[in-house]
Chain A
Amino acid sequence: MSFLAENWPVLRDAFLTTLSLALLSGLFSLLLGTVLVAMRVSPVAPLRGLATFYVEVFRNTPLTVVFFFLVFGIVQIDLSFPSRFIAAVSALSLYTSAFVAEALRSGINAVPPGQAEAARALGLDFGQTLRQVVLPQAFRTVVPPLGNVWIALAKNTSIAAGFAVSDLTAALTRLSNANADELALVFAAIVVGYLVITLPSAALFRLLERRVAIVR
């Protein structure tokens, strides 16, 4: 137990880093994903094409490659992020928003076309139809897939450890090398750190699902 006491500051900072990586990236990818899906279902062809291109590029590129590009690639054109943490949040958000957009699109497709037609018949324009009628219904059916995306994101934050962000996975490498005699404890502490994030959110998503899901 003295191991936990001695390394508590490292573990706490690492946990908070992982948590804030996940929360910030989750928030930004939800926003960006919503914009993307609005573009994707919009009547403007160039917007649809752009959103489709974006989603296909980021959904099919390994996250590590996205990180590499943002950390070491853009330096070639004299750009860089003010900190590695911001670079990590950007990489995670860019990547995850593609999955959020796809999850939302599945929700939009699940809304019967009659709903949108009725909204248009009532005189709502495209934006209003989307905001007032389609998206609220779509969000309800996408709670379970969004929960999956969120949990995947929480675990994907570990890639940031390889790009100079001191998250839980970085703490694992740091502590396991310094405490060769207590490897099992080190692993347990790190796993608990991740579970503290993922398990309650899984429960929260179940609750949310029961609250908002509509039975068709």
Chain B
Amino acid sequence: MRSTRKLAAFAALGLTLAACSSEAGEQAAEESASAPTVAEDVEFPEGSTMAEIAEAGTLRVGTKIDQPGFGLANTEGTPEGFDVEIAKIIAAELGLSEDQIEFTETVSANREPFIQQDRVDIVVATYTINDARKQVVDFAGPYYEAGQDIMVAAGNPEGIEGPEDLAGKTVCSVEGSTPAQNIRDNYPEAQLTTYDVYSKCADDLRNGNVQAVTTDNVILTGLVAGSEGAFELVGNPFTEEPYGIGLQLGDTEFRNFINDVLEESFENGSWADAWDRTAGAITGEPAPEPPTVDRY
């Protein structure tokens, strides 16, 4: 996801999330057997980024820690989620175990600087691939395709079925996010309210100050799951948000390597397995078809 400031605290979801993360923690303990198999005796071309990382023995990963299902810090501060599992799959192919991954929190606004300043090797943080970002970083993937959707009060009292129905209604999103900009550009008749975090949008929807909340379906799913039946998802995604893995601009060798790893994980089932254990556990939906890697 791409909103600039992601909630430091999902106030509305507090309890549910705490429950989720502890469940996820138990699951992780149970299923550590299903962690990706660490490749042994890996060999990479001299001077390549892969060789450097394998040599250093640490993969530095930027991820979000406030995104249920994708990257959410558990009570011990360790991030868990689909993004984290993807990072583990990549690390395993570099010959590194999950203990050798060094996670750094990245928020939407600092993902490019962190890559440019070489503070992280890769960013796996619900990071939508777009052209402006491709000017400063390169993307492997996509490894998941999200889409902008709409969340409404339970029972959908306003009868909102898609973005066209937002005309004349107040809709909430997060300032600086791609979904907010999309509403401004393409659905100017909708009254847009923007907060800094989605939990405030959820509060406003609960209060009736706004009639809908819009952003990526994966984020809305987390909010619906935490709302105890107060909200529902319209379930009609109207954009495509390919999530990619950010890395240094021009490091084509490393990008190709990650793309190969991703394609392999799509085929051997480790991708779907990672989905089922993380985001899938929240939505209850089976893993979708994996996206097609874009080797631009």
Contact = CB atoms under 8 A, between A and B. Distances in A.
B203 interface: yes
Nearest to A78: B207
A177 B135 contact: no
Contact of A164 (B133, B135, B181, B193): B193
A181 B135 contact: yes
Contact of A176 (B136, B176, B200): B176
A84 B170 CA distance: 13
Interface string B185-200: 0000000011111001
Interface stretch (B1-9, B89-97, B234-242, B281-289): B1-9
Contact of A170 (B136, B172, B175): B175
Interface string B83-115: 000000000000000000000000011001100
A78 to B, nearest CB: 10
B112 A163 contact: no
Contacts of A162: 195-197, 200
B200 A173 contact: no
B3 A170 contact: no
Interface string A164-175: 101000100111
A164 B201 CA distance: 10
A183 interface: yes
Interface residues of B, number: 29
Contact of A181 (B2, B3, B136, B177): B136
A178 interface: yes
Nearest to B180: A174
Contacts of A164: 172, 193-195, 200
A63 to B, nearest CB: 14
B133 A180 contact: yes
A35 interface: no
A178 B175 CA distance: 11
A75 interface: yes
Contacts of B176: 170, 173-178
B126 to A, nearest CB: 13
A139 B176 CA distance: 42
B113 A183 contact: yes
A181 B194 CA distance: 23
A170 B180 CA distance: 12
A115 interface: no
Given A71-B200, A163-B195, A177-B2, 14 more contacts: A72-B200, A72-B204, A164-B200, A170-B175, A170-B176, A173-B176, A174-B4, A174-B175, A176-B109, A176-B176, A177-B4, A178-B181, A181-B133, A183-B113
14 contacts: A72-B200, A72-B203, A80-B207, A163-B195, A173-B4, A173-B5, A173-B176, A173-B196, A174-B4, A176-B4, A180-B132, A181-B133, A181-B135, A183-B112
Interface of A: 71-72, 75, 80, 84, 161-164, 166, 170, 173-181, 183
Q: Which 10 A-B pairs have the closest CB atoms?
A: A173-B176, A177-B176, A173-B4, A162-B196, A181-B135, A174-B176, A75-B207, A177-B4, A170-B175, A173-B175
